Amino acid sequence: MEKQNYNHLTRTFQRLSRFGHLSAIAGWDMFTYMPPKGSAARGEALAELSVLQHQILTDKKIATLLQAAAQEDLNDVERANLREMTRRYQEAVLLPESLVEEKSLVGTRCEHGWRTQRPANDWQGFATNLKEVVRVSREEARLRAEAKGKSRYDALLDLYEPGMTSAKLDVLFGDLRTWLPDLLQKVVAKQSQRSMITPVGPFATGTQRELGLEIMQLLGFDFDGGRLDVSAHPFCGGVPEDVRITTRYDENDLVSSLFGVIHETGHARYEQNLPREWLGQPVAHARSTAIHESQSLFFEMQLGRSTAFLRLLLPKIIARFGAQPAFDVQNFVALNQRVERGYIRVDADEVSYPAHVVLRYEIERALIEGDIEVEDIPALWDEKMQHWLGLSTKDNYRNGCMQDIHWTDGAFGYFPSYTLGAMYAAQLFNAAKRALPQLESDVAEGNFTPLFDWLSQNIWQHGSRFTTSQLIANATGEDLNPLYFRKHLEARYL
C-alpha cells in the first residue's frame, strides 16, 4: 500500500520546519544583535510567523490525513514520526489563532523590557509586562486542561516533558527535600575548613572568548554548523544545521562564561547530532526539554566539573592568562567543585542547583493554577530562598525573581526540566562509565571520542523516535532513577 497520506504529511511538516528555521534565526538575532528600536517590529514579524505556522498545522485536512496515515504500511521510524506529528497537531488545535499571536507579542514585549528593567531592579515595570504574559498563559493552560482532563499546570508541563505530571514531580522533589538540605549543609561545612584562592582578574573578554572557542572545539562543536555570540542570558538556539549558542562575559569572573559555554555546547552537540536523514520531521526533534537539559548538564557538571576534565582545562587557562596562585592544580579543582549558597541559578553549583528549580516550580505552578498573583512572587521567592539556601532576596529583584527570561515568554512548565535533566545526566554518565572502563583516563588525555560515540549511539541519533522512558531504559537499563544523582553528589562532594 502506498503511503500517500503519510507522504503528504511529511511535506507539510517539512514546510513547517522551514518556517521554524526562519523564526529560530530571527529570535536568535533579536537576543544578540538587534538594535533596541527594532524590538516592536521584530515582535510583530515573529508573531505573524507563529500564526502562519499555526494555520498550516491546524488546517482541517491535517486531522483527516493523520487518521488515514495511521492505516498505511509504515515502518517503525515512520510510525514514531506519525505519533509526533499527531501530538503536535493535537497540541496546536487546542489554541485559537488570536491567542497564539497574543502570546508571541506579549512575550517579546516582556523580554525586551526585562533587558533594562533587570539592571535597574525595576520590579514594578517588569511586573506590568509579566501580568500580561501570565494572563495569556493561564488562558492557554485553561484551554489545554479542559481538553486533556488535566490540571492547568500539568497541561503546560506536558508540552515540555510529555507524560510528566505534578504528582510524579512531587514524589521526585519530595525525595530531594529529605536529603538535599542536609547534604548541602555537610558539604559547605566540609569545604569551609579549606581556604581557597580566588583568581584575580581582569580577564579580557576577547581572551575569554578565544578560550571558549578552544574548549568548544575540544568538545567536538562543528563550527561549520554553528557559532558563539553574546546575549544577556545564555542560550542555545538556531536549528540543527545552524546552531547558535551564546554566553555573557564578566572581566572579573573567568569561569562563569566558560562553564556557560560548556553547558550550551552540550545542548549544541545534541542538536548537531540529531538524525540528519529525518531533519525537518518531528521524529528528528530532541526528545524533550529534560533530555535536552540532561545533555547540557552532562557536559557542564558530570564531565566539565570532574577532576580529570578540570586538570585538562587548567593548562589551557594558564596559557592564555598566565600563572597565578589560584591556578595551582589542587586549588583550581577545589574552586570549581566549590559548593556555595548563591542567588543566581545559572551560576549555581550542582548541589544547590535543585533548590533554585524546586523553588520556581512551586511558584509557577501556584501562579498558573491561580493560587497566587504576580504581586505575590517577590515575597514567596524571598521566603523559599531563605528556606532552601538561607538567603534573603527582599527588594533584590535583580538577583531574585527577575534574574532570567524563562517566564517572559510564558515558558511555564519548563523549570522542572533542569532538575529532571540533572537526574538523567547522572544516570547516563553512570551507564557510560560502565560501558567505557577507560573513560576517566580518556578524559584526562582529552580523548572524548568514545564518550561522544556512546552518547550518539544511545541518545543523539534517536531524536524523538522513542518516548523518554524508552530512550533512558534503552541507554541505561532502567527508567529514571534519582538515586544515581544522589550517589553522584555524595561521591564527588563528601
Omega before 234 within 30 of 0, i.e. cis: no
Q: Which of 264, 293, 350, 364 is catalytic?
A: 264
With vertex at residue 221, the alpha carbon angle to CA 220 and CA 227, rounded to the nearest 5 degrees, is 165
User: What's residue 1's pLDDT?
Assistant: 61
**pLDDT by position in tens, the chain (length 494):** 689 999 999 999 999 999 999 999 999 999 999 999 999 999 999 999 999 999 999 999 999 999 999 999 999 999 999 999 999 999 999 999 999 999 999 999 999 999 999 999 999 999 999 999 999 999 999 999 999 999 999 999 999 999 999 999 999 999 999 999 999 999 999 999 999 999 999 999 999 999 999 999 999 999 999 999 999 889 999 999 999 999 999 999 999 999 999 999 999 999 999 999 999 999 999 999 999 999 999 999 999 999 999 999 999 999 999 999 999 999 999 999 999 999 999 889 999 999 999 999 999 999 999 999 999 999 999 999 999 999 999 999 999 999 998 899 899 999 999 999 999 999 999 999 999 999 999 999 999 999 999 999 999 999 999 999 999 999 999 999 999 999 999 999 99
Query: Half-sphere exposure (CA, 13 Å, Cβ side) for 416?
Result: 29
The C-alpha cell that represents 285 in the structure block: 526533534
Alpha-carbon gap, residue 249 to 213, rounded angstroms:
14
264 given a catalytic annotation? yes
Which residue, among 411, 393, 390, 392, has the nearest Cα to 402 in the 3D structure? 393
Is this model's pTM higher than 0.85 or not? yes
Domains of the chain: 4-151 (no CATH), 152-494 (1.10.1370.30)
Can you give the C-alpha Rg of the chain in angstroms? 22
| 8-state DSSP, 299 | I
Quick count: other Cβ atoms within 10 Å of Cβ 332? 21
Query: Half-sphere exposure (CA, 13 Å, Cβ side) for 333?
Result: 12
**236-239 vs 242-247, strand pairing mode:** antiparallel
User: What's residue 159's pLDDT?
Assistant: 96
Alpha-carbon gap, residue 274 to 99, rounded angstroms:
31
